[in-house]
Amino acid sequence: MEGSFGSYTDKTRVLDIKPLRTLKPVFPSGNQAPPFVCAPPFGPFPPGFTPFYPFSSSQHTPDLNQNNTSEPSLVTPLRTFRSPPPPPPDTATNGDAVELTVKRKIPRKRTPIAQNPNFSSGITVAEKENGDRKLVMSVLTRFDALRRRLSQLEDAKESVTGIIKRPDLKAGSTCMSRGVRTNTKKRTGPVPGLEIGDVFFFRFEMCLIGLHSPSMAGIDYLVLKGGGEGEEEPIATSIVSSGYYDNDEGNPDVLVYTGQGGNADKDKQSSDQKLERGNLALEKSLVRNSPVRVIRGLKEASQSAKIYIYDGLYDVKESWVEKGKSGHNTFKYKLVRAPGQAPAFASWTEIQKWKKGLPSREGMILTDLTSGVESIGVSLVNEVDGENGPAYFTYSTTVTSFKLTQQPSYGCECGGACKPGNLNCHCIRKNGGDFPYSGNGVLVGRKGMVHECSPACLCPGCKNKVTQMGVKLKLEVFKTVNRGWGLRSWDPIRAGSFICIYAGEAIDKSQMQPTVANDDYTFDTTRVYTPFKWNYEPGLADEDGTEEMSEEPELPLPLVISAKNVGNVARFMNHSCSPNVFWQPGSYENNGQLFLQVAFFAISHIPPMTELTYDYGVTRTSGAQSLCGKKKCFCGSEFCRGSFG
């Protein structure tokens, strides 16, 4: 066995951990996209109106798969702040009627997905069957945007105990039925647009992009039509390893997987597993020597979330039957990772070891370049050359010399905790009626300005101070091959997660020295930034005309920050024309002062050790309107503009 296994066992060798993948999310260039229009729910488009396909390519083939045959459905308006569920039909009233009615099991019929007849996924029939990277990224972005929005609306409702909502399932089924999906053609082996190391936070994400179609079951398979006599035989395409079924340690390239079925369930005894469906499919994959995609699920302590890593192709090498804990027969399959694939899960297990300090990270120069300023140490690493650190600067987490007095504003009066949806709360009102973050601190949508609660707010566990709480990820400053120092994370990052603010010294632009303008360590909100769409599409699940909100930054005044002498980790983030991070203006008040800042959030899910990059924009040049940056770009993106800054 060449390379990969050997390097794993030989701990003396320098581990060449590469980014799990290069993220290249793609968005339509702004100048092509017509302005977003809320189409009328019915009927012909007004003359001159072009339907907007937020993420599609220039091709707008009508979606023939679109299922418009269902009756005009009940539509749940997206913007409802408090709508208690309708009381149960109350047919059989018996003695215990005093009990909380919501606890009752309400016989539900499947809520039909809002069918906006004018909605088109913008994904052609062909693209739906076979995707590519661009499409995969856009489907994931659209799904998560909707999921965040549904989650926000859910948070805003009166908390009703006993009812558990699942924004992930709702968003997933909406995307499914509206055709926001790709790679529907089942296949063994690689899936177009998927890269080894891709990370997911929901099972539904893997369904939508054709990596693994069942929303729960661990084994996915397709049925091969036999050579004539009606013979059919299942063959496995992919499995999801939950990590629950003890699959012991050791070699990350080997996986022992338990077959499906036989589990004890509510009022059901556990039983022997049968050699059918998924179990049979894995058996057939073994005899046919057919590769199986493996997704490793694991509980990530740093995020208290379940995470899935696409770990590439494995071969089924052995199968056997074992007595499970319940004493019943269980199928076991031993899968071994095909050689020559980029490390993914193996890197992950390696990072877990670094966190424990054994073995220590190779190439580590400093365990914490912030000297304790950040609550989590930021390591400094060079695995490339002999340079032992960036030029000296002062580490600070704030924007200094920046004072903007204003009339004292109302403090937050919520007392307990700001209740999402409570329009009497100033925090909520300033944010346009919506709480900007979902419960786990993920930014719901881009907007002109995110208003956070004052540091003086005493609400216990206030959820509206995300950026004030500082860096929560385990970050690393590292030497890149051709772009100086860069920034990346040991932790996987969920789309919408806060990364850091841009700290430094605020500059009065009118007095700015020309030399400062050329500085690599300057953030300037007045530059021209490539617009892109990240928020949910109202038309996807809603036809009641929730208005589209602008995603473009809006600041009361231009903000120019220099991190040359004073700054935080943000000063190390490099430019990319296909970035995985965006910046978002934010503000909060304290002691009669308004604090303005620029905060960075993840565009998409970012696997560990992937370089974090954002769009540096292009300086407006007076006179000549050429949007040509001053620096040559080495981002390596397929869509590289060639220059920036």
Partner DNA sequence: GAGGTATCAGCCGC
Partner DNA sequence: CGCGGCTGATACCT
Cα–Cα distance between 422 and 424 in angstroms, integer? 5
Judged on CB neighbours under 10 Å (0-12, 13-18, 19+), 371 is exposed
Nearer to DNA, 13 or 103 (CB): 103
Triad 205, 211, 214: Cα angle to 5°: 70
Q: Which of 148, 207, 130 is nearest to 175 (CA)?
A: 207
CB of 99: closest distance to DNA in angstroms? Answer: 12
Instruction: Quickly tell me which residue has 């009669």 as its tokens.
Output: 592
Q: Partners of 233 in the beta sheet?
A: 224
Indicate the residue among 22 and 173 with the shorter CB distance to DNA: 173
| 589, 454 contact by CB (below 8 A) | yes
Tell me the closest approach of the beta carbon of residue 466 to DNA, in angstroms: 17
Residue 135: which H helix or E strand, with range? helix 133-156
CA 26 – CA 193 distance, rounded (Å) = 12
Q: Which is nearer to DNA, 225 or 266 (CB)?
A: 266
Q: Is 297 in the site for DNA (CB under 7 A)?
A: yes
Distance of CA 477 to the CA centre of its chain: 22
Stretch that binds DNA, among 29-37, 206-214, 393-401, 510-518 (CB under 7 A): 206-214
Q: By CB under 7 A, which span of 65-73, 132-140, 252-260, 394-402 interacts with DNA?
A: 252-260
79 binds DNA (CB under 7 A): no
* Minimal distance, residue 246 CB to DNA, in Å: 10
For residues 19 and 297, which CB has a smaller minimum distance to DNA in the complex?
297
Binding-site member from 7, 65, 66, 177 for DNA (CB under 7 A): 177
561 has which bridge partners?
A: 506, 523
Contact window for DNA (CB under 7 A) among 162-170, 349-357, 576-584, 607-615: 162-170
Over the window 422 to 451, marking each residue x when it contacts DNA by CB under 7 A and - when it does not, the resulting string is: -----------------x------------
**Residues touching DNA, count (CB under 7 A):** 52
Q: Which stretch binds DNA (CB under 7 A): 123-131, 199-207, 380-388, 598-606?
A: 199-207
Kindly indicate which of the ranges 235-243, 376-384, 471-479, 610-618 contains the residues binding DNA, using the contact rule CB under 7 A: 235-243
Q: Specify whether the CB–CB gap between 436 and 447 falls below 8 A.
A: yes
Nearer to DNA, 375 or 406 (CB): 375
Tell me which H or E stretch contains 312. Answer: strand 305-323
User: Is 302 a residue that touches DNA (CB under 7 A)?
Assistant: no
Instruction: Please state the closest distance from residue 512 (CB atom) to DNA, in A.
Output: 45
Nearer to DNA, 185 or 630 (CB): 185
User: Per rule CB under 7 A, is residue 232 in the interface with DNA?
Assistant: no
What is the C-alpha separation between 539 and 174, in angstroms, rounded? 11
Q: Does 170 bind DNA (CB under 7 A)?
A: yes
Contact region for DNA (CB under 7 A) — 24-32, 196-204, 419-427, 607-615?
196-204
CB of 388 to DNA, least distance (A): 35
Contacts of 375 (CB under 8 A, 6+ apart): 470, 471
**Does 356 sit near DNA (CB under 7 A)?**
no
| Sites for DNA among residues 108-147 (CB under 7 A) | 108, 110-111
Q: Which is nearer to DNA, 290 or 370 (CB)?
A: 290
- Determine, following the binding rule CB under 7 A, whether residue 262 of this chain makes contact with DNA: yes
List strand residue ranges (DSSP E) for 461-538, in order. Answer: 475-479, 485-489, 498-501, 504-507, 522-524
Is there a contact between 611 and 19 (Cβ–Cβ < 8 Å)?
Answer: yes
| 268: β partners | 265
Using CB under 7 A, pick the residue from 37, 75, 125, 176 that binds DNA: 176
| Strand order from edge to edge, sheet including 450-451 | 450-451, 581-590, 593-602, 498-501
Cis, peptide link before residue 359, omega less than 30° from 0: yes
User: Which residues sit opposite 631 in a β-bridge?
Assistant: 644
Stretch that binds DNA, among 12-20, 73-81, 171-179, 500-508 (CB under 7 A): 171-179
Stretch that binds DNA, among 123-131, 159-167, 373-381, 479-487 (CB under 7 A): 159-167
In the complex, least distance from residue 240 CB atom to DNA, rounded to whole angstroms: 6
CA-to-CA distance for 523 and 503, rounded, in angstroms? 9
Q: Which of 88, 192, 243, 531 binds DNA (CB under 7 A)?
A: 243
Instruction: Check binding of 306 to DNA (CB under 7 A).
Output: yes
By CB under 7 A, residue 40 contacts DNA: no
Please choose, out of 211-219, 377-385, 504-512, 533-541, the segment that lies near DNA by the rule CB under 7 A.
211-219
| Residue choice 114, 191, 211, 240 for contact with DNA (CB under 7 A) | 240
Can residue 63 be called a binding residue for DNA (CB under 7 A)?
no
Tell me which of 141, 241, 568, 637 binds DNA, using CB under 7 A. 241
Q: Does 245 bind DNA (CB under 7 A)?
A: yes
Enumerate the β-bridge partners of residue 634. Answer: none
Identify the DSSP state of 259: P
Which of 42, 45, 49, 244 is in the footprint of DNA by CB under 7 A? Answer: 244
Q: Judged by CB under 7 A, does residue 165 bind DNA? A: yes
Q: Do residues 60 and 53 lie in contact, with contact meaning Cβ atoms separated by under 8 Å?
A: yes
User: Binding to DNA by residue 2, rule CB under 7 A?
Assistant: no
At 586, list the tokens: 């934010």
Rounded distance between C-alpha atoms, residue 486 and residue 430, angstroms: 35
Nearer to DNA, 170 or 605 (CB): 170
Do residues 236 and 290 make contact, with C-beta atoms less than 8 angstroms apart?
A: yes
Closest to DNA by CB, 416 vs 558, is 416
Binding mask 575-604 for DNA (x = CB under 7 A): ------------------------------
Neighbouring C-beta atoms of residue 453, cutoff 10 Å:
25
Phi first, then psi: give them for residue 331, nearest 5 degrees.
-85, 140
Q: Residue type for 317, please?
A: K
Taking the C-alpha atoms of residue 603 and residue 144, their distance in angstroms, rounded to an integer, is 10
3-state SS string over 591-626? CCEEEEEEEEEECCCECCCCECEECCCECCCCCCCC
Measured CA to CA, the distance from residue 210 to residue 292 in angstroms comes to 14
Q: What residues from 212 to 231 belong to the interface with DNA (CB under 7 A)?
A: 213-219
Query: Read out DSSP for 333-344?
Result: EEEEEPTTPPPS
Please identify which residue in 164, 358, 557, 624 interacts with DNA, judged by CB under 7 A. 164
> 401 φ, ψ to 5°?
50, 35
Give the footprint of DNA on this chain (CB under 7 A).
105, 108, 110-111, 159, 161, 163-166, 168-170, 172-173, 176-177, 201-204, 207, 213-219, 240-245, 257-263, 265-266, 268, 277-278, 297, 301, 305-306, 439
